[in-house]
Chains A and B, each alone.
Chain A
Amino acid sequence: MMTPSFHSKGDLSTRARLVQLVAALERAGATPISNRDLHSFAYLANVLSPLWDIEPLESSILKDRNGPRSSALEHEIDLCVGVGLLVVETLGPDPENPTRLDATYRVNGTAARPVLQAISALPDELVTERFLNELAFAFVEIKPGLRDDAAIQDASWSNPAVANGRVVDFGEHAARVTVNPSLSAAQAFQRFAPSGVRLDRAEKLVMYVRLLKRRAHG
């Protein structure tokens, strides 16, 4: 996938997924959501989507000590605000980083409803919607100030084999990457289930996010 330059035309699939992401967060009661937390949630959605056999929007991201942040997603956030799908609830200095602004967002229900209905009409997107809902409800259990910390605790992100400033690759160069540590960690919960109990993908997803929550909360 070609990476968009800073003023390129938007990517419709990213935009659609973004609206789904924020809608899922809204259903879970997590909106208005801060820019930082939205990026963290989007990252977890990407890295864990193979658990539900869903294609991630991005399969690699630069590892930075401040946490996951996607330029492509940021561009789509701007465009969604511009066309009225997302509303900026607050805009002001970032309390955690004085050199940047932070915004919080929520879905503009009136504008987004027909878009979400059109997306839900596609059969594979129903699975995506269920996946994002499960993820959002688990994500919202993490304390608001610690959600980006939870993303940093993710197995792929915190993999010591990937240094800061290098790329966390969970599938972009698939021929050379055989392991998605986050996916492996989520699947590993099956080993600890009681005999005869088969965990489904939703349970594994929730258990994994709760593990991240425990680590973030300390």
Chain B
Amino acid sequence: MTPNLSSDLRRLEGEIVSADSAARNLNAILFKISQRRQSETTKKVKASDTRARMASEQGELDALTKRESELTERLDSTQSSQSDANLRLKRVEHQVDINAQSYEKIKFEVLRQAFAGVRPTEQYLFLKLLSEKFCIACDQSAPKAAIEIQERIDKKQCVVCGSPRKYDDSVVDIADSLKLKAEVSFQTLEQSRHELSVSEAQYNAASEEVSGLLAELSKIRQAIDTKQNNIRVLRRNLPADESIELHREEDRIKSLRDQVLLFRSEREVAEQSIAELLVQLSQAVEQVREKLEGAFYQRAAPFFAEQVRLVYAPRNAKIGLYGQSFAFPAFEIEMTSGATFGQFIRRTASQVSLSQREYLDIIFRMVLMDVIGSGAATLVVDGPEGSLDAVFAGRGGELFAAFSEQPQTNVLLACNIVEGGFIPRALSNYKLKDRRSRVVNLIDEATPTQALKELRPEYTQKVNEILARDQ
């Protein structure tokens, strides 16, 4: 081979390799572009189908989101009911405990002689058997055994083995007098046990409802996740230009989200400040809470037929729709009623009558003035007589009279000329001859209405009668 030939060979070899490599690279790029074009063509063909499916998924997602929102609201309300039921249950359990202890004590006194010589552990066992008809050894109800033990006691036999025993006669007299007490105490105990069954059933029902709602919420949330994932997958199957538009939209969404985050962080700063303020406020309220509760009980007792008490119960609530929940110092009302076996039950505004609501509010304000005010207070009430019936009218008047008795306390009541005890009792701190001076009579002062123009003599007579009445 000549040198020229060799050099030509090498040059050509290089050209071939280079051209071949360039061709292969270009071919690979061409292949990818073709594939992409093919894919886009396929996506374009299927685009309307994809869009339809996306719309369907979106519709289902919207429905699920709405359901989630409804369930969350229902769960909040149900958990609140569960909490109330739990409180009622604990109180009733406590009462059963107290009543059981009281009955056991009486029973013990009655059986003291019968238990003489029996060791404390066995006394304890027999006492439980006799008072509750329950065997604590085998954890079973044992009414027959209780009857048998009681028969041995009645026959003056040993409670353990049934052998005859000698008792001191004077103890029989004591036992007789205690037997009646024991019967009454047992009735009270049985009633509270019945209440316990009712409260347990209510609590269990509320708990089951909460569990059911939580399970359903969990399923809904999983379904939401699945739908969102499906939509993402479908979006990727849309043609590029639509995808680009969707990407642009997502960028816009991202930008808006960033703004939302900025606002949220401003909100968090404000929440931090408010949290600190609320802590100070709560501490201030907690310092006077017992005084407020005591003063409320004193004022409310003469007015209401039920027993009413004010209970400090901080309430968790959000400021705005989202964000942190805060504990606001708050009070709740608890009232007894015939339907609650004398138990105090928490009442919301919708669970009391209009007049109860009005007067609970008035009494609370009076109490705030009593406890937190510096001794000087003025209470102005418009239409205090409106919601009161004939029986409670007098009590209403007495409430205001009692409040106004305090030094440096003024009460201004704007009320109609009404029959009944409201006005006379409200003025009961004044002698009859001085009562007119405590009244601003709008019949004389105000521009007369048509009714007043026509019926002035009747109104004047009524005013005179009411002011002359002692109650």
Contact = CB atoms under 8 A, between A and B. Distances in A.
Given A161-B312, A163-B312, A167-B87, A101 B289 contact: no
Interface residues of B, number: 54
Interface stretch (B137-145, B157-165, B361-369, B396-404): B137-145
B93 A3 contact: yes
Nearest to B329: A161
Contact of B90 (A82, A83, A93, A167): A167
B96 interface: yes
Contacts of B138: 82
A82 B125 contact: yes
A166 B96 contact: no
B136 A88 contact: no
A211 interface: no
B117 interface: no
B136 A163 contact: no
B124 A88 contact: yes
Contacts of A160: 286-287, 289, 312
Contacts of B91: 62, 165
B135 interface: yes
Interface string A105-143: 000000000000000000000000000000000000000
Interface stretch (B99-107, B262-270, B382-390): B99-107
A173 B214 CA distance: 14
B125 A99 contact: no
Contact of A9 (B119, B139, B286): B139
Contact of B293 (A89, A163, A173, A176): A163
Contacts of A62: 87, 90-91, 93-94
Contacts of B25: none
Interface string B73-87: 000000100010011
Interface string A81-94: 11110011111111
B436 interface: no
A147 interface: no
Nearest to B82: A173
B203 interface: yes
Interface string B175-214: 0000000000000000001001100100110010000000
A79 B135 CA distance: 9
B174 to A, nearest CB: 14
Contact of B94 (A60, A64, A101): A64
Nearest to B325: A176
A81 B121 contact: yes
Interface in A39-96: 60-62, 64, 69, 71, 74, 78-79, 81-84, 87-94
Contacts of B135: 82
Contact of A69 (B86, B97, B105): B97
A6 interface: yes
B186 to A, nearest CB: 14
Contacts of B197: 5
A191 interface: no
A91 B123 contact: yes
B89 A103 contact: no
Interface in B118-157: 119-121, 123-125, 127-128, 132, 134-139, 141
A198 interface: no
A18 to B, nearest CB: 13
A156 B312 CA distance: 15
B311 A163 contact: yes
A166 to B, nearest CB: 7
Nearest to B125: A82
Given A5-B196, A163-B313, A99 B102 contact: yes
Contacts of B204: 2
A74 B101 CA distance: 11
B83 A173 contact: yes
A171 interface: no
A166 B346 CA distance: 11
A50 B233 CA distance: 46
Given A163-B311, A167-B90, A176 B97 contact: no
A167 B86 contact: yes
Contacts of A167: 86-87, 90
Interface in B264-307: 282, 286-287, 289, 293
A7 B108 contact: no
B348 to A, nearest CB: 16
Contacts of A69: 94, 97
Contacts of B359: none
Contacts of B127: 91, 101
B128 A78 contact: yes
A181 interface: no
A5 B134 CA distance: 13
A165 B93 CA distance: 12
B326 interface: no
B344 interface: yes
A19 to B, nearest CB: 15
A141 to B, nearest CB: 27
B314 interface: yes
B289 A103 contact: no
A107 B466 CA distance: 75
A60 B139 CA distance: 25
B38 interface: no
A7 B132 contact: yes
Given A62-B94, A88-B121, A10 B293 contact: no
Nearest to B119: A88
B18 interface: no
Given A6-B96, A88-B120, A165 B101 contact: no
Interface string B310-327: 011110100000000001
8 contacts: A6-B100, A7-B141, A71-B94, A78-B128, A82-B128, A89-B120, A103-B120, A162-B312
Given A6-B96, A78-B124, A160-B312, 7 more contacts: A61-B90, A81-B136, A84-B137, A88-B119, A161-B312, A165-B311, A165-B334
In the A-B complex, the 5 residue pairs with the smallest Cβ-Cβ separation, listed nearest first, are A82-B136, A160-B286, A100-B101, A82-B137, A62-B90
Interface of A: 2-3, 5-7, 9-10, 60-62, 64, 69, 71, 74, 78-79, 81-84, 87-94, 98-101, 103, 160-163, 165-167, 172-173, 176
